[in-house]
Structure 1
Amino acid sequence: MLLARLPDGREFEYESLGPESAPVILFHHGMPGSAVPMHTVLAPMLERGFRVITYSRSGYGRSTPVPSRTVADTGTDCAHLIDHLGIERYCSFGWSGGGPHALASAAVDSHRVSGVLISASFAPPTAAGLDFVAGMGKQNDIQFRSLQEGDQAARAAVSQMAAAVRGNRPEHVTAQLSSLFAEVDVSVMMSGFGADNAANMDHALEAGDQGWLADLKALGSDWGFDLADVVAPVELWHGELDRMVPVAHGEWLSHNLTDVRAHLEPDHGHVSLTVQKAGSMLDSLTRRLNR
């Protein structure tokens, strides 16, 4: 893992895969997550000739914690990382909790982001007409509702979730967090992705839960940017069986982003969609950008 020094002195962890001369994808991980590459997810990008940049949001892995960060703040951090790497143009790809951060990159760094891909993304907590937690599995419902009860409750909810995933095998994670996994997701968790995901999350949580708590607060409060500032073409994908981020979030985003094309997949959940369809997602975005 590599470290970039941000303008304010913080360290920002990242990894770069693929040829430096290749077109770039900045990959925004979920909650929790880190820069540790998940090859079962990233392989379709590398096979298609992309250079992939992964990173750890502040508080995860070796990235300096920022407890009060907003989603937009991470977009700014990523723009500084792109400066550090000398990249002129790139696509922004966000999965799950990374979806809003992918949109933030497009809003904050609009002159360099050529396209956006979001899979199973959250909508803003203030989304008009959307019941934010409706349809969520029990554990995510508890997490986001805890924000209304204050910092102590949010810390307790995150601590409980972190204990369920830290250092545990995929079968234990899916058993302890069963409300979040559709049947199609469980089968994918038992594949090679499960080990990839465990390594990614374990690194994220090595130094504690502060990154997860900061993510929860950032996703559950004002994101710090306007969706109207996302002017790049957006390819939106969401599984209709998703229990972590219900498809209503994807539907809301599909009606409130400026230049978006939505793909709602009836046979996929939260995990299966990205692991099994990432190649198709990229092909769809590439065709659109090449027109």
Structure 2
Amino acid sequence: MTTEFDIRLTDGRTLHVYDHSPAGDTERGAEPLPVLWHHGTPSIGLPPQPLFAAARRHGIRWISYDRPGYGGSTPAAGRDLAAAAADTAAVADALGITRFGVLGASGGANHALACAALLPDRVAGVVSVAGLAPYGAPGLDWFAGMYPGGRAELRAAVADRAELTAELALADFDPEMFTPQDHAALQGDWSWLGDVAQRGTASGLDGILDDDLAYVAPWGFDPERITVPVLLLHGGADRVVPASHGEWLARAIPGAELRRYPADGHLSILNAAACALSWLRIRG
């Protein structure tokens, strides 16, 4: 069962929050572990329905929220990735949750890493799925391997908000951004992504604009200073966020574990997230 509500932040913004508790008994028979889900770009914060069955088995309670500018959450122009840690803490505080795991996919992966870096006393572990490395990361050809539309969008973000707005207004969906495995995932359980992506832009482009600008700006934290356990999942055939980004993060984050799935793309890698829930449960 998923409940939804709004919280008011000290700066006057609203966050729209979701709380999904597993139904029935878990295999472990223990209290559910809260896991904060960070959604992709564009999307809304609905907890990941395709992972509900695995979450029940592992005793996972999903907590999530619409990132600023998406769904029912107030836009926050100029936000950096680090801002996600404060918003996450506010959501956890509103629910009386002290310690929790974090899972983020695609754009949400970088917001999840912000929680790892800035909330070390509260975060049990972080799973980052198909996340970008910092723009300008030393030794990384950042745009290499991205499909053309993705390169154009993020190069526009590097320029400024106006150029990015113009680029997004002209961009069309390019099926070549996804691999055959990705398209198969979209025809199966992960068809859910199409719905939440459509709802992510229903009220405008503020969310995706602020996400893209944050990805290419200073993050507000240093991945090399992360101390909590981090598991990185990346598809070797990813055309949206090339596998070289996951490999860079694995080298940069102390003690990070990288699981690379050579045949998977940007979406089909989410099938591996079900197994990652057991990794989180052990650490929680």
TM-score exceeds 0.5: yes
Give, as a single letter, the amino acid of the residue that structure 2 aligns with 1:10.
R
Call closer, same or farther: CA 1:264–1:193 in 2, change over 3 Å: same
Determine if contact 1:158/1:212 at 8 Å carries over to the other structure.
no
Runs of at least 5 residues in structure 1 that lack an aligned partner in the other structure: 165-175
| 1:12 and 2:15 aligned | yes
Match among 176, 185, 188 for residue 191 of structure 1: 188
- Between 55-64 and 185-194, the greater mean CA deviation after superposition: 185-194
Determine if contact 1:235/1:262 at 8 Å carries over to the other structure.
yes
Q: Deviations over 1:176-227 (max 9, x none)?
A: 3223101110111122322x11221222222101000000000111111111
Q: TM-score, normalised by structure 1?
A: 0.89
Supply the distance in 2 between the matched residues of 1:124 and 1:43 (Cα, whole angstroms): 33
| 1:262 and 2:258 aligned | yes
Determine if contact 2:58/2:281 at 8 Å carries over to the other structure.
no
| 1:231 and 2:227 aligned | yes
Supply the distance in 2 between the matched residues of 1:43 and 1:132 (Cα, whole angstroms): 36
The alpha carbon displacement at 1:42 in A equals 4.0
Supply the distance in 2 between the matched residues of 1:79 and 1:159 (Cα, whole angstroms): 34
Match among 186, 210, 215 for residue 211 of structure 2: 215
Local SS of the residue matching 1:58: coil
Give, as a single letter, the amino acid of the residue that structure 1 aligns with 2:156.
S
CA RMSD of aligned residues (A): 1.7
Call closer, same or farther: CA 1:113–1:271 in 2, change over 3 Å: same
Determine if contact 1:231/1:258 at 8 Å carries over to the other structure.
yes
Q: TM-score, normalised by structure 2?
A: 0.91
Local SS of the residue matching 2:18: strand
Supply the distance in 2 between the matched residues of 1:188 and 1:214 (Cα, whole angstroms): 27
The alpha carbon displacement at 1:49 in A equals 1.1
Supply the distance in 2 between the matched residues of 1:42 and 1:68 (Cα, whole angstroms): 33
Local SS of the residue matching 2:120: coil
Which residue of the partner structure matches residue 279 of structure 1? 274
Determine if contact 1:233/1:259 at 8 Å carries over to the other structure.
yes
Instruction: Name whichever structure is richer in helix by fraction.
Output: 1
Which residue of the partner structure matches residue 170 of structure 1? none
Which residue of the partner structure matches residue 249 of structure 1? 245
Supply the distance in 2 between the matched residues of 1:95 and 1:217 (Cα, whole angstroms): 18
Give, as a single letter, the amino acid of the residue that structure 2 aligns with 1:207.
S
- Between 74-83 and 40-49, the greater mean CA deviation after superposition: 40-49
| 1:62 and 2:57 aligned | no
The alpha carbon displacement at 1:19 in A equals 5.3
Match among 101, 105, 120 for residue 111 of structure 2: 101
Supply the distance in 1 between the matched residues of 2:219 and 2:104 (Cα, whole angstroms): 15
Supply the distance in 1 between the matched residues of 2:199 and 2:268 (Cα, whole angstroms): 22
Aligned-residue sequence identity (percent) comes to 33
The alpha carbon displacement at 1:286 in A equals 3.6
Runs of at least 5 residues in structure 2 that lack an aligned partner in the other structure: 24-30
Q: How many residue pairs end up in the alignment?
A: 274
Supply the distance in 2 between the matched residues of 1:278 and 1:148 (Cα, whole angstroms): 31
Supply the distance in 1 between the matched residues of 2:37 and 2:53 (Cα, whole angstroms): 12
